[in-house]
Amino acid sequence: MMFRRQWLALSALALSALALGSAQADTFPSRPIKIVVPFAAGGTGDVLVRSLQEPLQRHLGQPIVVENRLGASGSMGTVFVKNAPADGYTLLQVGNSTVTTPMLQKTANYDAQKDLTPVGLIAATPMVFLVNPVVPATNIQQLVDYARANPGKLEFSSAGRGSLAHLATESFNQAAGLKMVFVPYQGAAQAVNAVLAGEVKVALTTPSDAINSFVSSGRVKMLAVSSEKRSPLLPEVPAISETLPNFAVNAFFGLSAPAGTPPEVIAKLNDAMNKSIAEPGMQAKLKALGMFPRPASAASFGDMMKRDHALWTGVIAKAGIEAE
């Protein structure tokens, strides 16, 4: 008899919790929503979120507040969102570094797979493979042949240890069976300038109008893009996968929420995101940044982040990069 009463009490409690969660989802959103950008203002992720701000406000019917919480390679902002109430009112701008930082930083204090719930993907962009003109190669196969014939003579730059460019080039090395020498720089601009100056010979970086002008003037050669197939924005440039099958690396930008955020709330946020991204004005802004609009379900975005996690776990382990 006592067991039956306890069971009934627990059942009633569970039903009450479900009803409360459903009621919260029905009224969501009823107040402003904060999007935390874990890096400084002016970066790509920050620009994307601020571009999304106005249409997202219209579709959700509430103000969207963008707040930059930088520090510790994005960990400070991420931990802030991880510890926020799981109610949909605090979101995080996420990207590749959200996945890789805990693998490279012992004090990251979060697990991207366990502590965050994917909301949706905003956009993605391939990287471009640049070489200094002194390198006798006009395509990836020629570069691979030259590197194999001249071990240790090709250096590659990136915006620091553990950056996407660093890991993407290590992945390229592994796929091609090469060992180019890594030279870290303070930022992406410095890494590209190093190739222009001949300090290093190779760099994988995100595309820009400035890089296109360097290519047009002959100051640097663009051999390939890192996406699964050729980019519509650079249709004459081959994909690395045309030489190294299945090679694919894209920089991505999306939104996540604290783990435990109700699925109904995630669905509302995702729907508003996708409607915002589909607007012609938003599409034009993204393409002007060299980005591909990538509206997707929360589940498919989560699957993409899992694939990214598996990819970089393997690359980091094979390259012998240890967490610091």
Mind listing the pLDDT tens digit for each residue in 175-232? Answer: 999 999 999 998 888 999 999 999 999 999 988 888 989 999 999 999 999 999 998 8
Q: What's the CATH number where 269 sits?
A: 3.40.190.150
pLDDT at 12: 52
pLDDT at 293: 85
Domain end marker among 175, 207, 242:
242
State which residues form the domain around 109. 31-124+251-319
pLDDT at 1: 47
The answer to whether residue 26 is domain-embedded is no
pLDDT tens digits, 61-117 = 999 999 999 888 889 999 999 999 999 999 999 999 999 999 999 999 999 999 999
CA distance 254 to 260: 18
pLDDT at 16: 53
Q: Is 19 helix (H, G, I), strand (E, B) or coil?
A: helix
Domain end marker among 242, 260, 275:
242
CA distance 243 to 129: 13
Angle at 212 (CA atoms; ends 232, 171), nearest 5 degrees: 70
Strand partners, 39: none
What's the predicted TM-score (pTM) here? 0.85
Give CA separation, 288 vs 47, 120, 209, in Å. 12, 21, 9
C-beta of residue 272 within 8 angstroms of C-beta of residue 51: no
The answer to whether residue 306 is domain-embedded is yes
Q: Which residues of 92-122 are buried (b: 16+ CB within 10 A; e: fewer)?
A: bbbbbbbbbbbbbbeebebebeebbbbbbbb
pLDDT tens digits, 1-53 = 444 555 555 555 555 555 455 555 679 999 999 999 998 888 888 999 999 99
Amino acid 152 reads: G
Type and span of the H or E element at 181: strand 181-184
pLDDT at 11: 54
**Burial bucket for residue 287 (CB in 10 Å: 0-12, 13-18, 19+):** middle
Same structural domain, 108 and 137: no
Same structural domain, 313 and 277: yes
**Could you tell me the pLDDT band of residue 262, with boundaries at 50, 70 and 90?**
very high
Q: Which two tokens stand for residue 231?
A: 């980019």
Quote the number of domains for the chain: 2
pLDDT at 321: 92
More confident residue, 11 or 281: 281
Domain end marker among 220, 242, 264:
242
Q: Which two tokens stand for residue 273?
A: 């995101």
The answer to whether residue 297 is domain-embedded is yes
pLDDT at 6: 55
Same structural domain, 83 and 160: no
pLDDT tens digits, 119-143 = 999 999 999 999 999 999 999 999 9
Same structural domain, 173 and 188: yes
Among residues 164, 125, 171, the alpha carbon closest in space to that of 39 is found at 164
Q: What's the CATH number where 159 sits?
A: 3.40.190.10
Same structural domain, 50 and 70: yes
The answer to whether residue 6 is domain-embedded is no
Same structural domain, 81 and 151: no
Angle at 128 (CA atoms; ends 297, 105), nearest 5 degrees: 65
The answer to whether residue 214 is domain-embedded is yes
Q: Which residues of 140-150 are buried (b: 16+ CB within 10 A; e: fewer)?
A: beebbebbeee
pLDDT at 291: 86
Among residues 298, 305, 250, the alpha carbon closest in space to that of 271 is found at 298
C-beta of residue 169 within 8 angstroms of C-beta of residue 204: yes
Residue 110 DSSP one-character state = -
Type and span of the H or E element at 104: helix 96-104
**Burial bucket for residue 228 (CB in 10 Å: 0-12, 13-18, 19+):** middle
More confident residue, 119 or 158: 119
Same structural domain, 90 and 154: no
Quickly list DSSP for 68-102: E---GGGHHHHHHHHTS-SSSSEEEEEEHHHHHHH
Same structural domain, 232 and 138: yes
